Amino acid sequence: MNFSSDTSAPAHPAVLEALLKANTGAASSYGADKVTQRLRARLAEVFEADEFDFWLVASGTAANALALACFCPPTSSIICHREAHIQMDERGAPEFFTGGGKLHLMDGEGAKIDFDPLKDYLDDFDPRNVHATPPAVLSLTNLTECGRAYTPAEIARLAQRAKYASLAVHLDGARLGNALAHTGATPAEMTWKAGVDVLTLGLTKTGAIGCEIILLFGAAKSKGRELQARAKRAGHMPAKMRFLAAQAEAMLEGGLWLQLAAHANAMAQKVAAAFVEDGHDLAWPVEGNEIFVTLDEQAFNDLQEDGAQFYEWPGGSHRFVCSWATTQKDIDDLAASLGRSMRR
Amino acid sequence: MNFSSDTSAPAHPAVLEALLKANTGAASSYGADKVTQRLRARLAEVFEADEFDFWLVASGTAANALALACFCPPTSSIICHREAHIQMDERGAPEFFTGGGKLHLMDGEGAKIDFDPLKDYLDDFDPRNVHATPPAVLSLTNLTECGRAYTPAEIARLAQRAKYASLAVHLDGARLGNALAHTGATPAEMTWKAGVDVLTLGLTKTGAIGCEIILLFGAAKSKGRELQARAKRAGHMPAKMRFLAAQAEAMLEGGLWLQLAAHANAMAQKVAAAFVEDGHDLAWPVEGNEIFVTLDEQAFNDLQEDGAQFYEWPGGSHRFVCSWATTQKDIDDLAASLGRSMRR
Amino acid sequence: MNFSSDTSAPAHPAVLEALLKANTGAASSYGADKVTQRLRARLAEVFEADEFDFWLVASGTAANALALACFCPPTSSIICHREAHIQMDERGAPEFFTGGGKLHLMDGEGAKIDFDPLKDYLDDFDPRNVHATPPAVLSLTNLTECGRAYTPAEIARLAQRAKYASLAVHLDGARLGNALAHTGATPAEMTWKAGVDVLTLGLTKTGAIGCEIILLFGAAKSKGRELQARAKRAGHMPAKMRFLAAQAEAMLEGGLWLQLAAHANAMAQKVAAAFVEDGHDLAWPVEGNEIFVTLDEQAFNDLQEDGAQFYEWPGGSHRFVCSWATTQKDIDDLAASLGRSMRR
Amino acid sequence: MNFSSDTSAPAHPAVLEALLKANTGAASSYGADKVTQRLRARLAEVFEADEFDFWLVASGTAANALALACFCPPTSSIICHREAHIQMDERGAPEFFTGGGKLHLMDGEGAKIDFDPLKDYLDDFDPRNVHATPPAVLSLTNLTECGRAYTPAEIARLAQRAKYASLAVHLDGARLGNALAHTGATPAEMTWKAGVDVLTLGLTKTGAIGCEIILLFGAAKSKGRELQARAKRAGHMPAKMRFLAAQAEAMLEGGLWLQLAAHANAMAQKVAAAFVEDGHDLAWPVEGNEIFVTLDEQAFNDLQEDGAQFYEWPGGSHRFVCSWATTQKDIDDLAASLGRSMRR
């Protein structure tokens, strides 16, 4: 009953098989190997993209910070939600990688940025004011920090307004697979077709060991060299790159990442149902693999006693996360634990 | 016949077996897992150390830059050899991680820092001069960039002078195993017993997928929290840490890393012998797994034609590197190619 | 009728006389001159302080950023009000000087930080959470951005809670003279006696050409060398330091700075009275030299036509600022312009 | 007999008169005042330039670092002489302002960069090598750190090669007036006509209180907004800008800066003659206002006893600097002191 995080799960067996397969003979270092080259074609297919560039890193914080640093000069800022991972959980990585850029925080329900305050802020900002820090990037997260999914149309509306103000648009897709599985949108529809310039595609939470892909779409492709230079000087250009590429390849092969995300989402719906049935309120609709629920003391204690792992969340709810490895037994055990509480 | 780099080699099978073994069930993220905890005990044993702390990263550049940033304030400098990896091959990573610190370059044969110029520089530096950048760290590399090995006594002499000037001592041990195998020194003798405060222990070149350990010895242990904070904000705190720890564990188990390093060194001696026999001059004595040789045009062309891979090196020589995966057949092929050249 | 800013005013004649006086003969550079040395004794007297160090810079942004960088590591954050100058008007200077530190924004009426939310935030912050950025400094501003004055007791209460959490306390005193003149507190009572570790004492707005003093009180004195090093590498160690020191000396001599601040405050009360008499609402009580008033369209237009200079302010009010150079005629002209509006 | 530095001299009276004159009435802040606007026309005239932008700062370190940061990305490097002020005497300011860029050091007699090593370095540098830090700026200094003057032709030759490699060309003109006075070149000939993109024009050493002008020539003008943004966030946008502009105006008026520089140069020739006559060797030809001479112990002691102020210089010589304020009496006293030594 480990619902603490999708990063607590092991890697999917296909990922390890891919590592074993990649581990034969000598290969060029730093991304000049065949696996990495092959991955390019696969990404073109998955994202229906001709014009793009990419880089592989092993952590989501690195992927976000490198992506943002290519678009936010040190004298500018990144607009993001008040609860965004880049604000709350990355120990100032965006500030570090941008060389001292700022985050400009916006509100919005379910950690989704509201259109109107964004529009107002951009309308009112006077670019001639040298004292104030001008926004250079809009960063969205899908799934959001509350497990909500933006639709492509929602992203497109925000992105369009941002682009009108000459901002670049970044998508933190640490759980993009879950958002795609929920909305039924294609990777292309949720990203470059909606105006996303640079994507952090997370595969770690979905089932890899540690593999995130930074994708630069369309004109943003011109940042490819800078991205590599920044990756290198941040220590994110591992010599034996083939082992990152092999993870990515295994996850994308045959749509495995989307299948694993869909499984995690389905399990999350079952967890949510168990809570609702037991009379608990969900803090947010479950639109991916995360459940935020308000537990009473009894249920909290029973779950703890029965060994369920989950996190208390700021705002008073508790977070449960499903992964590719969550089983029906985990659900049954959770339901049983909740049932025990009910019976009293 | 791939002698281009020890990073072109695959990972040792034991490393991949360890990954498979670690890939079972849920585990705490970010280093709170059991494999990482177990590694601590193993490191204590390998380094005969009670007082130490450590962190795992996937690249040598990251390991060096994080280690240095804990000891060099942005207003200070790091003394290193003019040819050091941190100066030549890390795209300014030390400057980035320290927040704008400087590298102060020293000379010395075979990329080993000479004692006298170091002493003179430290003797002459006036710490009251607020305009000049004061040194805060001495960074040594073993093996050096020329494949030379410092002895523990050589390190101790330089370290002692540095410490007298209140500098911290860093050792870039990207190929430490090779230096240990060559000198016969123990890990402890080559590091903290010789005055090293912080070590970058490279296991990637020795046989891992991507695994470097930053070790803080003795009083430097107090930097452990800062090191973690810096690692986090640099994107070097991967969620599924157990897969880094498993690599380290596999390499250290039963002294595998030293055996692999010894093998690479032995192969390098054979390569060197083949060159010498063929009448070529070695640029430097071979004290590890790297051979620097001056090739005439004929030998260069023959080797290229026969598919040998190696690098031209600044200064006019050519670099050949052996790894755990170098075979007797590689040596024989090289010798045959050279022989072909001779026969003409 | 220039009420746009106290920085639009010229310098007080005594300041220029001091420059002329300092401009005789050769003097040691970089602060080793006699004027700077003499200033130390004067500061000891003004602040009733034995243990302190100081540095002179020419701009408030520089003074704040240098002061903060000495106390906030790059991995930490500075707590300040959402409307603080360091957040709104310094183009990311604190992030730049700290090497990527963050600002953590707090609310509070009149740009004064409320005690309870500060307490709650510090109570709840878990220093073991390596992912979240820990606070290292509390930065207060007196006068606040809304022209409100903290009392020494208010500062002491906030400072005490901050210190309990091991934070350093910074006071942005760009208009400290005005706050002192309003509250009647002594410089010592408003600063180190209330728990302030590092003060940015602004003299520019009060009447200098460009002169701000960073003061390190008590144990914070140990940061003196670091402050100088940071000032040097930020280009804030002008060679002919005596001309900064001479400005400071002239302003502090005989309490001139407090007299000038008192004059500006008195003029501000007259401006406020004129507005109130004319039926306009003040956005905030006038506790220094700034007036925030809500103007109707008629009054706005009349004032503009009559050549009054002032700024529209975020939130819907208009800001008028008095300085040492504001005259009774300025007040009379303003009142006349408002009266014209009334007469219609 | 103060020959310690031209920064030990007071400001020229005309500069203080200009401050007094500027100190009348209210003026717009941050460079929107009339004096600053007027200065633009004056600079156009002095530099015979239509296309340019500029910014005023109070210190040479700030001027250099801001100028360089506009042209050197954090992943790149600045080529300069090993003894350049930006390397030796600015406490890492270029690294700080560029966000971690590097300095690439070149050799050359008299602190002038030799053409051939520069050409070789640029010829050999492989821009595809992501591991090495590519050069982005060539920074020259005139006068050099050894008091030597580049001719326009020498600058043009170096600049041309740099531009061929797409580098920007920076000129540190802390003592540009002295170089112009020595060579007879015009400001335009020595700067943009010779290929200089960005100039740090120092007026402080020449006779101002503290005033340096960053000039962006030709296409480099497009960096004007970035320069202002960087100046702002570095605390180099003082509110009462008119007092910086007034200094610049006074110095440029009627060619005063060149007259003062010529005076200092003439005094330096007299100092040099006194040393030569006394049998001392000059380390370098005197081509500006600095004299580097090798003193024997006797002369050293006599000069010290007689109260002469000067610096020991790295490399074994002693530096004497003349300024606009150096008098014939200073020369006579120096000669007398040397004569005393001779008489024994």
Q: Is C229's Cβ below 8 Å from some Cβ in D?
A: yes
- What pLDDT is recorded for position D97? 98
Cβ-based contacts of D22 with chain C (< 8 Å): 10
Compute the average pLDDT of residues C91-103.
Answer: 98
Is pLDDT at C230 greater than 80 in this prediction? yes
**Second-level CATH architecture of A13-254:** 3-Layer(aba) Sandwich (3.40)
DSSP B134: P
Q: In whole angstroms, what is the distance from residue B162 CA to residue B135 CA?
A: 9
Contact D103 B102 (CB under 8 A): yes
User: What are B94-106's pLDDT values in tens digits?
Assistant: 999 999 999 999 9
In total, the C-beta contacts within 8 angstroms joining chain A to chain D are 31
> Residue holding tokens 């920085």?
C7
- What pLDDT is recorded for position C29? 87
Higher pLDDT, B29 or C323: C323
Cβ-based contacts of C230 with chain B (< 8 Å): 75
Pairing of strands D135-141, D168-173: parallel
Distance from CA of B328 to the nearest CA of A (A): 15
- What pLDDT is recorded for position B344? 53
Is pLDDT at C315 greater than 90 in this prediction? no
Distance from CA of D95 to the nearest CA of A (A): 12
> Residue holding tokens 């001639």?
A128
- What pLDDT is recorded for position D4? 94
Tell me which chain D residue has its CA closest to the CA of residue C310.
D28
Order the strands of the B77-81 sheet from edge to edge: B52-57, B212-217, B198-202, B168-173, B135-141, B77-81, B102-106
Those of residues 25-54 in B touching chain C at CB distance below 8 A are 30
Query: Residue A130 is nearest to which of D75, D99, D229, comparing CB atoms?
Result: D229
- What pLDDT is recorded for position B340? 81
pLDDT band at B45 (very low <50, low <70, confident <90, very high): very high
Those of residues 175-214 in C touching chain D at CB distance below 8 A are 204-205, 209-210
User: Cα B337 to the chain's mean position, in Å?
Assistant: 30
Tell me which chain B residue has its CA closest to the CA of residue C236.
B131
User: What are B303-322's pLDDT values in tens digits?
Assistant: 999 999 999 998 889 999 99
Amino acid present at B272? A
Is pLDDT at D300 greater than 70 in this prediction? yes
Q: What are the boundaries of each domain within chain B?
A: 13-254, 257-343
Q: Is D14's Cβ below 8 Å from some Cβ in C?
A: no
Amino acid present at A23? N
Distance from CA of A99 to the nearest CA of D (A): 6
Could you tell me if A135 and A79 are in contact, meaning their C-beta atoms sit under 8 angstroms apart?
yes
Cβ-based contacts of B99 with chain C (< 8 Å): 74, 99-100
Distance from CA of A87 to the nearest CA of C (A): 9
DSSP D126: -
Cα dihedral sign for B52, B253, A247, A146?
Answer: negative
Beta-bridge partners for C55:
C214
Pairing of strands A168-173, A135-141: parallel
Query: Residue C92 is nearest to which of A91, A102, A105, comparing CB atoms?
Result: A102
- What pLDDT is recorded for position A32? 87
Give, in order, the Cα–Cα distances in Å from A10 to each of A5, A18, A271, A291, C309. 11, 15, 20, 20, 66
Lookup: tokens for C242: 């005596």
Contact B61 A235 (CB under 8 A): yes
Could you tell me if D175 and D185 are in contact, meaning their C-beta atoms sit under 8 angstroms apart?
no
Chains contacting A with at least 3 CB pairs below 8 Å?
A: B, C, D
- What pLDDT is recorded for position A339? 87
Distance from CA of D78 to the nearest CA of C (A): 17
Cβ-based contacts of D98 with chain B (< 8 Å): 100
Look over chain D and give the mean of its residue pLDDT values, rounded to a whole number: 96
Q: Is B96's Cβ below 8 Å from some Cβ in C?
A: no
Look over chain C and give the mean of its residue pLDDT values, rounded to a whole number: 96
Could you tell me if A122 and A153 are in contact, meaning their C-beta atoms sit under 8 angstroms apart?
no
Q: In whole angstroms, what is the distance from residue B185 CA to residue B287 CA?
A: 13
Those of residues 260-319 in C touching chain D at CB distance below 8 A are 309
Q: Is D127's Cβ below 8 Å from some Cβ in A?
A: no
pLDDT band at C344 (very low <50, low <70, confident <90, very high): low
Amino acid present at C240? K
- What pLDDT is recorded for position A30? 86
Beta-bridge partners for B52:
B217
Query: Residue B204 is nearest to which of A25, A229, A239, comparing CB atoms?
Result: A239
- What pLDDT is recorded for position A221? 98
User: What is the mean pLDDT, run by run of 10 residues, along chain A of 344 residues?
Assistant: 94 98 92 92 97 97 98 98 98 98 97 98 95 98 98 98 98 98 98 98 98 98 98 96 97 98 98 96 97 93 94 93 98 93 58
User: Cα D316 to the chain's mean position, in Å?
Assistant: 23
**Second-level CATH architecture of A257-343:** Alpha-Beta Complex (3.90)
Q: How many helices (H) and strands (E) does chain C have?
A: 14, 11
Q: Helix/strand/coil (H, E, C) string of chain A?
A: CECCCCCCCCCCHHHHHHHHHHCCCCCCCCCCCHHHHHHHHHHHHHCCCCCEEEEEECCHHHHHHHHHHCCCCCCCEEEEECCCHHHHCCCCHHHHHHCCCEEEEECCHHHCCCHHHHHHHHHHCCCCCCCCCCEEEEEEECCCCCCCCCCHHHHHHHHHHHHHCCCEEEEEECCHHHHHHHHCCCHHHHCHHHCCCEEEEECCCCCCCCCEEEEEEHHHHHHHHHHHHHHHHCCCCCCCCHHHHHHHHHHHHHHHHHHHHHHHHHHHHHHHHHHHHCCCEECCCCCCCEEEEECCHHHHHHHHHCCCECEECCCCCEEEECCCCCCHHHHHHHHHHHHHHHHC
pLDDT band at D29 (very low <50, low <70, confident <90, very high): confident
User: What are B2-27's pLDDT values in tens digits?
Assistant: 999 999 999 999 999 999 999 999 99
Answer whether the bond into residue A103 is a cis peptide, omega within 30°: no
Contact D235 C7 (CB under 8 A): no
Nearest in space to C216 (alpha carbons), one of C66, C77, C41: C66
Query: Residue D100 is nearest to which of B77, B95, B133, comparing CB atoms?
Result: B95
Could you tell me if D264 and D272 are in contact, meaning their C-beta atoms sit under 8 angstroms apart?
no
pLDDT band at B1 (very low <50, low <70, confident <90, very high): confident
Q: What percent of chain C has pLDDT over 90?
A: 95
- What pLDDT is recorded for position D195? 98
- What pLDDT is recorded for position D76? 98
- What pLDDT is recorded for position A341? 62
Query: Residue A74 is nearest to which of C74, C96, C133, comparing CB atoms?
Result: C96
Tell me which chain C residue has its CA closest to the CA of residue A135.
C91
Cα dihedral sign for D1, D6, D8, D14?
Answer: positive
Examine the predicted complex and report whether its ipTM is higher than 0.90: yes
Cβ-based contacts of B74 with chain D (< 8 Å): 92, 96
Cβ-based contacts of D213 with chain C (< 8 Å): none
Distance from CA of D164 to the nearest CA of C (A): 31
- What pLDDT is recorded for position B342? 58
| 3-state percent helix, strand, coil for chain D, nearest multiple of 5 | 45, 15, 35
Cβ-based contacts of D240 with chain C (< 8 Å): 7, 11, 204, 209-210
Q: In whole angstroms, what is the distance from residue B11 CA to residue B21 CA?
A: 16
Query: Which stretch of DSSP H or E encloses residue D32?
Result: none
Tell me which chain C residue has its CA closest to the CA of residue A130.
C91
- What pLDDT is recorded for position D342? 58
Length of chain A measured in residues: 344
Lookup: tokens for B183: 């000198």
Q: In whole angstroms, what is the distance from residue A110 CA to residue C178 CA?
A: 44
Is pLDDT at C342 greater than 90 in this prediction? no
Distance from CA of B229 to the nearest CA of C (A): 6
Order the strands of the D311-312 sheet from edge to edge: D281-282, D290-294, D318-321, D311-312
- What pLDDT is recorded for position D341? 62
Compute the average pLDDT of residues B60-76.
Answer: 98
Distance from CA of A211 to the nearest CA of B (A): 9
